[in-house]
Chains A and B, each alone.
Chain A
Amino acid sequence: MDFATALQILDSTVRLSTPLLLACLAGLFSERAGIFDIGLEGKMLMAAFFSAAVAFVTGSVWLGMLAGIASSMALSALHGLASITFRGNQLISGVAINFLAAGLTVLIAQDWFSQGGRTPSLIGQARFEPLTLPLADTLQTVPILGPLYHELISGHTLPVYFAFLCVPATWWILYRTRFGLRLRAVGENPAAVDTAGISVIGLRYAAVAICGLLCGIAGAYLATALQAGFIKDMTAGRGYIALAALIFAKWRPWYALMSCLLFGFLQAVALRYQNIDLGPVTLPVQFMDALPYILTVVILAGFVGRAIPPRAGGEPYVKER
Chain B
Amino acid sequence: MDRMPPWADALLVPLISLVLAAILSALVIIGIGEDPVAAVTLMVKGALGSTYGWGYTLYYATNFIFTGLAVAVAFHARMFNIGGEGQAMLGGLGVALVCLYLPLPHWTLALVAATLGAAIFGAAWACVPAVLQARRGSHIVITTIMFNFIAAALLNYMLVNLLRPKGAMDPATAKFPAATNLPTLHDMLTPIGLNFSKAAPANVTLVIALLACLAVWLLIWRTRLGYEIRAFGHSETAARYAGISPTRITVVAMLISGGLAGLMALNTTMGEAERLVLNSVEGAGFIGIAVALMGRSHPLGVLMAAVLFGFLYQGGAELALWTNIPRELIVVIQALVILFTGALDNMVRMPLERLFLSRRRKEG
Chains A and B form a bound pair: yes
**Residue ID in chain B nearest A105 by CB atoms:** B328
Residues of B within 8 A of A95 (CB): 82, 286, 289, 338, 342
What CA separation (Å) do A278 and B330 show in the bound complex? 45
Knowing A82-B343, A89-B343, A240-B145 are in contact, say whether A96-B331 is a contact too (CB < 8 A).
Answer: no
Asked if B289 contacts A103 (CB within 8 A), the reply is no
Asked if A111 contacts B33 (CB within 8 A), the reply is yes
Residues of A within 8 A of B343 (CB): 82-83, 86, 88-90, 92-93, 96
Q: How far is the CB of A244 from chain B (nearest CB, A)?
A: 6
At the interface, yes or no: A271 with Cβ under 8 Å from chain B? Answer: no
Knowing A92-B80, A107-B32, A110-B326 are in contact, say whether A247-B154 is a contact too (CB < 8 A).
Answer: no
At the interface, yes or no: A305 with Cβ under 8 Å from chain B? Answer: no
At the interface, yes or no: A81 with Cβ under 8 Å from chain B? Answer: yes
What CA separation (Å) do A243 and B142 show in the bound complex? 8
At the interface, yes or no: A284 with Cβ under 8 Å from chain B? Answer: yes
At the interface, yes or no: A91 with Cβ under 8 Å from chain B? Answer: yes
At the interface, yes or no: B139 with Cβ under 8 Å from chain A? Answer: yes
Pick from B80, B128, B326: contact of A91, CB below 8 A: B80
At the interface, yes or no: A213 with Cβ under 8 Å from chain B? Answer: no
Residues of A within 8 A of B334 (CB): 99, 103
Interface of B is mostly: helix
Pick from A82, A102, A309: contact of B331, CB below 8 A: A102
Q: How far is the CB of B240 from chain A (nearest CB, A)?
A: 19
Q: How far is the CB of A283 from chain B (nearest CB, A)?
A: 11
At the interface, yes or no: A104 with Cβ under 8 Å from chain B? Answer: yes
Q: How far is the CB of B293 from chain A (nearest CB, A)?
A: 7
At the interface, yes or no: A106 with Cβ under 8 Å from chain B? Answer: yes
At the interface, yes or no: B153 with Cβ under 8 Å from chain A? Answer: yes
Residues of B within 8 A of A89 (CB): 80, 342-343
What CA separation (Å) do A306 and B136 show in the bound complex? 9
Residues facing B in A292-321 (CB within 8 A) are 293-294, 296-297, 300-302, 306-307, 309
Asked if A93 contacts B339 (CB within 8 A), the reply is yes
At the interface, yes or no: B238 with Cβ under 8 Å from chain A? Answer: no
At the interface, yes or no: B223 with Cβ under 8 Å from chain A? Answer: no
Asked if A99 contacts B335 (CB within 8 A), the reply is yes
At the interface, yes or no: B146 with Cβ under 8 Å from chain A? Answer: yes
Knowing A82-B343, A82-B344, A287-B157 are in contact, say whether A293-B146 is a contact too (CB < 8 A).
Answer: yes
Residues of B within 8 A of A98 (CB): 335
Which of B28, B82, B146, B289 has the most A CB atoms < 10 Å from its CB?
B146
| 13 sample A-B contacts, Cβ–Cβ < 8 Å, listed by A number | A38-B145, A89-B342, A93-B342, A96-B343, A99-B332, A107-B328, A117-B326, A286-B154, A286-B156, A296-B142, A296-B146, A297-B150, A300-B146
Instruction: Give the B-binding residues of A (Cβ under 8 A).
Output: 38, 78, 81-83, 86-93, 95-100, 102-104, 106-108, 110-111, 114, 117, 237, 240, 243-244, 247, 284, 286-287, 289-290, 293-294, 296-297, 300-302, 306-307, 309
Instruction: Give the A-binding residues of B (Cβ under 8 A).
Output: 28, 31-33, 80, 82, 128, 132, 136-139, 141-143, 145-147, 149-150, 152-154, 156-157, 160-161, 286, 289, 293, 324-326, 328-336, 338-339, 342-347, 350
Q: Shortest 6 CB-CB distances between A and B: which pairs?
A: A103-B331, A99-B335, A93-B343, A103-B332, A290-B153, A300-B138
Given contact pairs A106-B331, A297-B150, a sample of 16 additional A-B residue pairs in the complex whose CB atoms are under 8 Å apart: A38-B145, A86-B345, A88-B344, A92-B80, A96-B336, A102-B331, A106-B328, A108-B32, A110-B32, A111-B33, A117-B326, A284-B157, A286-B156, A287-B157, A289-B149, A297-B132
